[in-house]
Structure 1
Amino acid sequence: MNWLLYALNQIFMMNKNLILLIALALASCSSEDSSKSGNDDFQFSYKIDTVMVDAGDHFFFLNEDLSLSDVSKDRKLLYNLNPKTFLLEIVNLDDLKLEKTVQLEKEGPDGIGLPYYGKIQVLENGNIGLFGQFKIHIVTEQGKLVKTIDLDQIKIQNNDQKEKEKIGWNSVLSDDGKLLASTLVNFDFKKPAKGIVVIDLETDSIKYIPMKLFEKLKQFEIIHQEGNAPGITTGEFPFLRFIDNNLIISSSAYNEVYHYNTSSDSLSHYSFKASLTDNEKIRNFPNEVHSSKEWTDAEKAKNEQVSFREFLKLPEQNIFWRLSTDKDRMIADSVVFKQVATFFDADFKMLKEQELENFHDFRNSFFKDGMLYSFINIEDELAFVRLKPNFD
């Protein structure tokens, strides 16, 4: 039932963020401290607009807030999966209209039916990875099954560990589909991952990269257990993303990033010092609760703290962009959050922090034509808030 707990957790966190308007992310090992930048030459301003997507007679699947969506590498198409009907919706982002829909097969030789999907990923050749808890199906845009990666069949046993570990639920493919990176989990899911693995899917070679990040994140788990009912676990999660075929690892709880260079097989760690937000979450809540009120209070205490988003790359400027939120003030019993954009150069030197006004950022944001697109549901219709940055 662990896949169900993780699925419920993701859905809970997504809805919680919507309610609070928090949506707005072994070879050598080195560590660097990138302190607060005083770069006054880096100037940033922006404009915001909102655009609607023409659906024609179709009704987009928006129940999961585009959490099962991804964009093509040329940023011309957006793919959105309805996990209930297995209908794939394809949006033309240049024309902002529905391009077509493709019905994926649940059963048969091209069948991709699974009880749960966590995300989808569009590869550079146009194929689409459908990430379930135990399998990854690779299909063409036409819905033909190319291959299935059975995660449960990949067994990991580290040289320094007697216990066996397996591929976790948090996985990502490189753009060319040749590498699979994933967290490691213990077979009973009770112990934190000791690191990540990068698997060459063509040669089956496995590179194990130990990291302390997951042990640190374990302290933020909240287990909701009432009677003999199955418990539900929530927590802070790591982000894994291949950018330029290098693996970028960060988390929602800490102001830091790990950069794994796949060519040199080296891991670098960068820590940052923010001036507009806190630098990490603290555990000011119980790890185990036994009532709905205790659950609500614990989640509230955790979610009122700083939260970091994924690192995104703005290709036109060759810089990294990351959004974060933190508690700003209280109005009666409601929390007002501030949104902060932080910029980093290609070597993860922190360039600037700036608070954003009147911007709604949501899950699966992406850059296109120099603008940041963020999903918004307007009366059950698909729309995007676009932030157009200007750098001087």
Structure 2
Amino acid sequence: MFMRYFLILICSGIFACSSKNSSNLVSDKEITVSIDTVYLDGKGEIIFVFNGLSVSDFSTDQRLMFNFDFMTPSIEIFDLDNLEFQERILLEKEGPNGVGEMVYDFNLLEGDLFFAGSRDQNLGLFSFKGEMQRNITLEKIHEIKQVPFGTLALKQSLVLQSEPLILFGEFSDWSKNDGTVKEFIGVWYEDEEYFEEYGIEDWFGFENYRAMVDLGNFKTSFNAYWFLMENIPGGVVVSTNLTSSFLWFDKTKREFRLVKGNHQLIPNTVNAVLSDSYPSNESFSNALNEIKKEISYLKPVWDWDNEIFYRFAYKEKFDANGKVVASQVYLSVLNKDFSIIQESHVPQLNKSPNFHFVKDGKIWIFENVEDEVSFIRVKIDL
């Protein structure tokens, strides 16, 4: 379809009626929010929107977006300056150049390489010709941690450097015989055979947000928390939905730092907790909704132009059937030292923001409109 561009001037299912609004800030200043929507010209291609474009990365100038399609598999390249599909790079799923099943970990690297990690623990570095340059295994990490091979699971990951290899990720350790699991954020320096980790028990009380749920035929453990990673020059931000505090990993100092939130407009953490067990999936979902009513945090995203972070948070409202009917959305602005400089309710948004990033000083929020790619762009005047 042809490219369309318009200011939002009427009510929709996503926004309130006005497209521009001023809201009071904790800093006694005002934030002005302007919103428009742009559509990507797909050039007749069927764009992979199953993951909401969340398995993606960007060129260093932010002009190109690389969206990973694990079904084909392929990499779709979008020209964000001209808002059009540019090309598709076909890949193999199996064989010596195979990327594996269900790739959810993906990032670009120096030297025209990219990293792909699949849910079947197939990890590798690939060229844009689709050729595997090297296979990555976790055997050395097991040896360093002195646990039996196969007891460490990599839940999400990214490669910070290809040569020498530096792998960053969220790990689960199932090596204990009592069935308990230890979760941590880890960094593996392959050439040094060194592994640095940060246990989430030092971050927040995760044990209060894990429960056993009876699904009828079997029981299984569910978590009410998840982690999101944002890779930027200088470090990696690891955040969670349950607390405004987040981890900062400094690539130069090679150390973790816990950054605590200091919000005045919204809670700094969730207060509700889970029970140890639930008799059904429905009862667990109801408990999860109680948590979501309080607050949920999204990851901080980096504004390359202005060297600040934007971070959304939201409170969800549910009807009697447990269906989300609306959300109160909040936006915090942090400087590069992670201090909150402004925060505000954003009444123009009345649903939790989808995958988003910052380009040209605007927050671009993905929206699927009848399987077409559109971006709701939020401009903040500080």
Q: TM-score, with normalisation over the residues of structure 1?
A: 0.79
Contact in 2 for aligned 1:67/1:364 (Cα 8 Å):
yes
User: Of 40, 43, 50, which residue of structure 1 is paired with 2:37?
Assistant: 50
The equivalent position to 2:231 in structure 1, one of 239, 242, 254, is: 242
The residue that corresponds to 2:284 in the other structure is 295
| Cα gap change, 1:110 to 1:49, in 2 (>3 Å) | same
- Mean Cα deviation higher: 61-70 or 97-106: 61-70
Match of 2:135 in 1: 148
Q: Is the Cα contact below 8 Å between 1:238 and 1:249 reproduced in 2?
A: yes
Mapped contact 1:277–1:326 kept (Cα < 8 A): no
User: Which residue of structure 2 lines up, in the alignment, with residue 3 of structure 1?
Assistant: none
Flag the 1:78–1:265 CA change in 2: closer, same or farther, 3 A.
closer
Work out whether residues 170 and 182 of structure 1, in 8 Å CA contact, stay in contact via their aligned partners in 2.
yes
Superimposed CA distance per residue, residues 12-55 of structure 1 (whole angstroms, 9 cap, x where no aligned partner): xxxxxxxx98xxxxxxxxxxxxxxx96446x5323111111111
Q: Which amino acid aligns with 2:288?
A: E
User: Please, which of 155, 161, 164 is the counterpart of residue 169 of structure 1?
Assistant: 155
For residues 124 and 304 of structure 1, the distance between their equivalents in structure 2, rounded to whole angstroms, comes to 42
Contact 1:45-1:390 within 8 A present in 2 as well: yes
1:247-282: CA deviation from partner (whole Å, max 9, x where unpaired): 323211112122232322343323223232222123
**Structure 2 CA distance for aligned equivalents of residues 195 and 112 of structure 1:** 25
The offset of 1:386, in angstroms, is 0.9
Instruction: Write out aligned runs for 1:198-213 (5 A).
Output: 198-213=187-202
> Is the 1:325–1:339 Cα contact (8 Å) retained in structure 2?
yes
Q: Which amino acid aligns with 1:196?
A: I
Distance 1:194 1:354 in 2: 33
1:121 to 107, 110, 113: 107
In 2: Cα distance, 1:390 partner to 1:273 partner? 22
Q: Contact 2:208/2:275 (CA < 8 Å) preserved in 1?
A: no
Does the 8 A contact of 1:125 with 1:176 survive in 2?
A: no
Q: Which 10-residue stretch deviates more, 117-126 or 71-80? A: 117-126
SS at match of 1:357: coil
Task: Report deviation, 1:340.
Answer: 0.8
| Structure 2 counterpart SS, 1:99 | strand
* Unmatched 5+ stretches in structure 2: 1-12, 15-24
- Residue 365 of structure 2 corresponds to 374
CA contact (8 A) 2:210 2:274 kept: no
1:286 aligns with 2:275: yes
- Residue 351 of structure 1 and its aligned partner are, at CA, apart by 0.8
Q: Does 1:268 align with 2:257?
A: yes
User: Deviation at 1:246?
Assistant: 1.7
Q: Do 2:107 and 2:115's aligned partners in 1 also have CA atoms closer than 8 Å? A: yes
Between the aligned residues of both structures, percent identity stands at 19
Question: In the alignment, which residue of structure 1 is the partner of 2:56?
Answer: 69
One-letter amino acid of the structure 2 residue matched with residue 233 of structure 1: F
Shift of 1:176: 6.2
- Could you give the per-residue CA deviations for residues 227-262 of structure 1, whole angstroms, max 9, x where no partner exists? 443636232112333322323232111121222323
Larger mean Cα displacement after TM superposition, 247-256 or 333-342: 333-342
Q: Which has the higher contact order (CA 8 A, sep 6+)?
A: 1
Distance across 1 between alignment mates of 2:318 and 2:306: 36
Structure 1 unmatched ranges of 5 or more: 1-19, 22-36
Distance change >3 Å, CA 97–CA 230, structure 1 → 2: farther
Alpha carbons 2:125, 2:134 under 8 Å: kept? yes
The runs of at least 4 consecutive aligned structure 1 residues that moved more than 3 Å come to 37-41, 156-159, 161-165, 175-178, 188-195, 201-204, 208-211, 227-230, 329-336, 359-364
Given candidates 330, 334, 345, the residue that maps to 1:344 is: 334
Report matched runs for 1:1-392 at 5 Å.
Answer: 39-40=27-28, 43-114=30-101, 116-133=102-119, 134-151=121-138, 154-155=141-142, 166=152, 168-174=154-160, 178-187=165-174, 190-193=179-182, 195-213=184-202, 216-229=205-218, 231=220, 233-327=222-316, 335-359=325-349, 362-391=353-382
Match of 2:20 in 1: none
Change (3 A) 1:176 1:323: farther
Aligned residue type for 1:247: V
Instruction: Give the 3 Å change call, closer, same or farther, for CA 232–268 of structure 1 in structure 2.
Output: closer
Cα distance, 1:231–1:252 mapped onto 2, change above 3 Å = same
227-236 or 368-377, larger mean C-alpha shift: 227-236
- Deviation larger for 66-75 or 312-321: 66-75
